[in-house]
Amino acid sequence: MKKKGWAAAGVIAFISLLVLLSAFFSGRSEQPVPDDETARHLADGQTDQQASDGKPDGTNAEYDLELQMKEDGTFQVSAVIGVANDSADTWNEIGFYLVPNAMNALDTQFYRDDHAEVEISALQVDGETADYTLDNNELMVALETELERGAVVEISIDYSLELPKEGMRLSQVEDNFYLAQWYPMLAVYDDGWNIEDYDSKGESYDTAYGNFIVSYQLPADYLVASSAEDGVIEAVSSGKLEGDNYKDFYIAFMDSEEWETAAAQAGDTNLRVFAPKGTGVLEETTALASDAYRYFEQHIGDNPFGELDIIANDGYMEYPNIIEVATEEEALDAILVHEIAHQWFYFLVANDPFKEAWLDESLAEFTTALFLSDRHGDADSGFQYAVSIQASYPPETYLNFPLDEFDEAKYYSTIYGKGPLLLKEFFDGRGGREAALEFLSAYYTGFQFKRVDSEAFKVFFEDYFEGDQSEFLDSWLK
């Protein structure tokens, strides 16, 4: 995500107000059974994960999700999820994030009068009704039979879902439905299920790559944009989407009367852009997105996916193959480019966004600033946002703190300000932008479809540069 409050003009006094306001306005902030082939696919996947290049780390979930929208705008979801135990342990439970369950005043400060409604009507493990607990965004499913290493189990969950109005990310705005974090997302297992309480100031959920089949049925025709390849832009009332190696699956259903759309080709990738009629940002958004996407492919590395959807709904958020960007002219550059950069740093190189948000946020902002400066023909102007946000509040010494240990203003000034600026300073003394892009390209190539942490970054960094870099790295990574 990028913090709302464009601040590009660098009006510092304005920033602290925006930081406060952001708390209120940021973002919106009967099933086919996996067949033997699926089971084999899952079981094979876990034998050589983390091994060869280009093989996603920890792809141990096959999602088959059916979405049905009713006339009143509520959804009925049937999720069938094949899960392979890819850990060294035997499992007696499986953990999912069910984020909408935490979108209420009791669990999350952001929600006051507004909330999401989730009600599970059936939950089965391999066809048998199973016990579960649901607390905040943590859904723990009990396994009656222990799941051995390498074994596969199928979990079916049926539930109803009502979106918050003007919610954070998962949101219904009039007749537009933005479905983020709407399905049970398999958590990451690392000596235990790694599930944190929902925290609306960043991305508190951590998911591995998964394979998806998503089908939808709607009571009328809607424009559809999703993490999968949706193809030609047209209003439809049903469809089936498929795709592999997505870190997460987002889908939007939009009122075709409200939006104007455009498409552009950037290399092998089709960019599809949706902007509300009357905002006047469609053309500029399309042109800039195309330039930025091509720049990142050229300087950082090829993006293997064929479609990127861009929705101008002031969501300020990244998802695999789809982003939510600004409708205000003033915010267009800084937000659009940042969210596109996340396709490389967050999606194609993955990290735990709760524990180490800097790995995707600081690198996305750094990359954005390099592109914008180059576009403006100088070395610094793209860093205006980082300079402003760092000046808005004293940053932390260390960047790799978990989300819940940062207070909000410090989080933004450290992750979006200090992070990109300290990298800029480092590269300014070592060949500038060109050297920085070369480094990012090597890093991207080394870690594509893999998960990184600060330690892996440090090792790579030390390896890449001659001489001991520990003094520099230890000054901002603990």
Residues lying near Zn ion in the complex (CB under 5 A): 1-2, 361
Rounded distance between C-alpha atoms, residue 424 and residue 403, angstroms: 24
Least CB distance to Zn ion at residue 342 (A): 6
Of 69 and 335, nearer to Zn ion (C-beta) is 335
Longest Cα separation, the chain:
64
Closest contact distance (angstroms) between CB of 285 and Zn ion is 17
DSSP assigned state of 187: B
Between 360 and 396, CB nearer to Zn ion: 360
Token pair, residue 378, equals: 């100088």
String of DSSP letters for 149-167? TT-EEEEEEEEEEEPPBT-
Q: Alpha-carbon distance 171 to 195, whole Å?
A: 23
What DSSP string describes 56-76?
Answer: PTT--EEEEEEEEE-TTS-EE
Torsion of the alpha carbons at 57, 58, 62 and 66, rounded to the nearest 10:
-80
C-beta neighbour count of 133 within 10 angstroms: 10
Q: What value, to the nearest 5°, has the Cα angle with vertex 326 and ends 371 and 415?
A: 55
Residue pair 38/178 in contact by the 8 Å Cβ criterion: no
Closer by beta carbon to Zn ion, 86 or else 360: 360
Query: CB of 289: closest distance to Zn ion in angstroms?
Result: 16
- Closer Cβ to Zn ion, 241 or 357, answer by number: 357
Instruction: Quote the CA–CA distance of 445 and 435 in Å, as a whole number.
Output: 15
At closest approach, how far in Å is the CB of 294 from Zn ion? 20
Output the smallest distance, CB 423 to Zn ion, in A.
15
Comparing CB distances to Zn ion, the nearer of 2 and 4 is 2
Q: How far is the CB of 202 from Zn ion (least distance, A)?
A: 9
Terminal CA-CA length for the chain: 24
Least spacing, CB of residue 82 vs Zn ion, in Å: 31
Which residue number, 338 or 433, has a Cβ lying nearer to Zn ion? 338
**Residue 459 in tokens:** 């090792």
* Amino acid code (one letter) for 102: A
Query: Would you say 6 or 63 has its CB closer to Zn ion?
Result: 6
Cβ(90)–Cβ(146) below 8 Å: yes
* Residue type at 99 in one-letter notation: V
Closest to Zn ion by CB, 222 vs 344, is: 344
Edge-to-edge strands, sheet with 317-319: 259-266, 269-276, 307-312, 322-325, 317-319
CB of 174 to Zn ion, least distance (A): 26
| Nearest distance, CB of residue 2 and Zn ion, angstroms | 5
Q: What is d(CA 240, CA 221) in angstroms, rounded to the nearest whole number? A: 14
Tell the smallest beta-carbon distance from residue 280 to Zn ion (Å).
25
Closest CB to Zn ion among residues 101, 400 = 400
Instruction: Closer to Zn ion by CB, 172 or 327: give it.
Output: 327
Give the dihedral sign, CA 302/307/312/313.
Answer: negative
238, with CB counted inside 10 A (0-12, 13-18, 19+), is exposed
CA distance 316 to 29: 8
